[in-house]
Structure 1
């Protein structure tokens, strides 16, 4: 198995103002749960090597949109394209097939398993004998090597890939979950509140990891309530309110105060917010 994009040469991060090629575009996404309209008209775009912040008050539709992009639930209407081709995300396996990985707040780590076992959980290498999975080989040389390699490439420090994750710090666990997503998520990684409940030092480690992911060409969507941290790592921010994407701003051209104003309604939304969300990426005209 090749480590894409973790082992690709890291391009210079000083090139952030060059427009990345669009990777995923979601337009006019709607979703109802009975009489409740969770998403009325949501549109976002994420480019190669771009960090997109997704913000909004509770009930704005962020979690629903995240679940749709992750394949956990299907939209009622709207389109999602990946590298120019329309895709259907009806189940999580569809997203995984297309190289889209999500790290939820619970991290989905098994405390009694080691780092390497968690990284390859459900994706253990085949034994070669009758095509059966050799579960006793979860920690074999090949997988240990790949686990160490992706962790080293991303600068994630853990006591050992063979040690159970139960004894790891919150920051180490978060970074391990993100590293697993990078290993398997070839195109897009979605992070749901990645620094929630972490201290200042551990949050800094996660933010550094997000920056490294950008440098390796991974599109990163970060859902966060921490505006200060988001403004540090994001290239653009899309604001949601009442199930709609109401504005998208380039971080270099906005402020945390304006974003908060858009969230609360103190700042009026863009007149054509859906077009702004999907028509430009970093460095392009009108961004």
Structure 2
């Protein structure tokens, strides 16, 4: 199965002209359902406004709210380790629920410059909010890529723009032939062991309702995932510097919609 994952970055509009036959399933995130009408799944968080959701669904279209995607994220360690923003939450849901062979991404670069931040204009750069689970987006992308490969799924970035995603670049013509890296178990073992040792597990996904997260320990785990990616690919993934963060629930940690803490699991 080949899956197209659409986010809300400005370049997502290029997918409007892509043939539907190139993909077995199309997964959209938040507002990206509006980009093209032939999507299969819309993944969205609890605070995604009802007025922004599609009014009429085709029989083959399915909504995926947090109570559906969080359990699949838990199969991969949970939202704390996955990175609590929708590009990652939707990806782990797709890996677990659809079991694809390939996922191609567009509109998920998570790089925000001047001008329009989303295909519909200006929006909130959710992945950049100060959150212990999002200190290093490149590391979270590397983790996703490696765990997908472990499960036999190759991730590729269909974007030509600057990106935090660690995935190889590809064009539509290459999707049928791409394959995941193999022999990665030994490389990812230290990062998985560190996650188990830290034990930052929150089955509900609502980690902000629990005790403060150890940002320093999570940053160390991020470094292990980057090292694993480097070992598997033979090239270094250069991350941005990790940012010091206040504890969850403090006045300094603003979440979605200006809340003092994120009101949804991702």
- TM-score of Structure 1 vs Structure 2, range by shorter chain: 0.3 to 0.5
Higher RCO, Cα 8 Å, sep 6+? 1
Which of the pair is proportionally richer in helix? Answer: 2
Q: Which of these two proteins has the greater Rg computed from alpha carbons?
A: 1
| TM-score, with length taken from structure 1 | 0.32
| TM-score, with length taken from structure 2 | 0.34
